[in-house]
Amino acid sequence: MSTMWQGCLADTDYFEMLSRGGNDYGVWVTRPPGYDPATTKAPVVYVLDGNWAVGQTAPLIVTQADPMQPIQPYVQVSVGYAGEEAEHWARLRNRDLVPPGEPVAQEFVDAVEMGIQTGRMTREQADAYLAELRDTRADAFLSFLTEELHPRIERAYGTASSGHGLFGYSYGGLFSLYAWLSGNPLFESIGAGSPGVVGEESKIFAQLQELGDSLPAAKLHVTVNEQELLGELAVYQSLAQNTTALLHRLSSRDAAVTSAVLRETHVTGLQSSFLSYLRTCRASET
């Protein structure tokens, strides 16, 4: 990274990687303070939506040195988009983070239309945004993370063989739920912030039903925001209601699931959600 960016994101490397499926990804790797894999190997925490999230989450690597509430050491790997595609990350994430066949809820379409009416996006941008939801490939992106990117991180950074985590927010949170319900063995803890379970027909509920009484062993921490629950935007109300319904279904089963309501909005909740995940799932035992 440049000297300027290195000053903002200390101990962070950046590289770009072409997936087997032909997609370009930008990857930020943030090491713990004083990290030396020759003496102690740290696990990886993968953070989604790197183009947006890295600036808010990577600086929290210092929590590992917090004398009042230390977090277990981890190497953060933030995954986003590279090159010319980086400016289109907000729509490309729809392709990668949404489960295959996920229905597009009417509340979501209405929210996009509101974006046009308020001038936050053009009709062309809105159409491109919704188009990415016609062929969603969370399965392919999960394979990229676990089968292509993770081996490269292991080789280059000498990370631990176990204890890895995953964190996603909004549609990233939906992906986190998908990855958890898929039972991928790479992740031992998963954070799902304000997961984008907007419709009652979400594939997440179908995944849960297919599992029956057999749930993944990985820890799952779910957060929602107070203003999603109490605010007037239908898309966020539906997200919060469906996430709560999912948590109720999980509460009757023997699953390692925790949850929290944060005093944030959907836009401001990312950093608080990540910190809640760290404190709940990765707190130091000493």
Q: What percentage of the chain carries pLDDT values higher than 90? A: 75
The rounded mean pLDDT for the chain is: 93
List of domains in the chain:
3-101+137-281 (3.40.50.1820)
Q: Kindly state the tokens that stand for 286.
A: 């000493």
User: Tokens 């304000």, residue?
Assistant: 194
Of 66, 54, 65, nearest in space to 29 by CA: 54
pLDDT by residue (tens digit) across 3-51? 545 567 889 999 999 999 999 999 999 999 889 999 989 999 999 999 9
pLDDT by residue (tens digit) across 144-168? 999 999 999 999 999 999 999 999 9
**Cα–Cα distance list, 143 to 140, 147, 179, 261 (Å):** 5, 5, 10, 31
Across 89-118, b (16+ Cβ under 10 Å) vs e yields bbbbbbbbbbbeebebbebbeebbeeeeee
268: pLDDT strictly greater than 60: yes
What is the pTM (predicted TM-score) of this model? 0.94
Q: Which H or E run contains 93?
A: helix 89-97
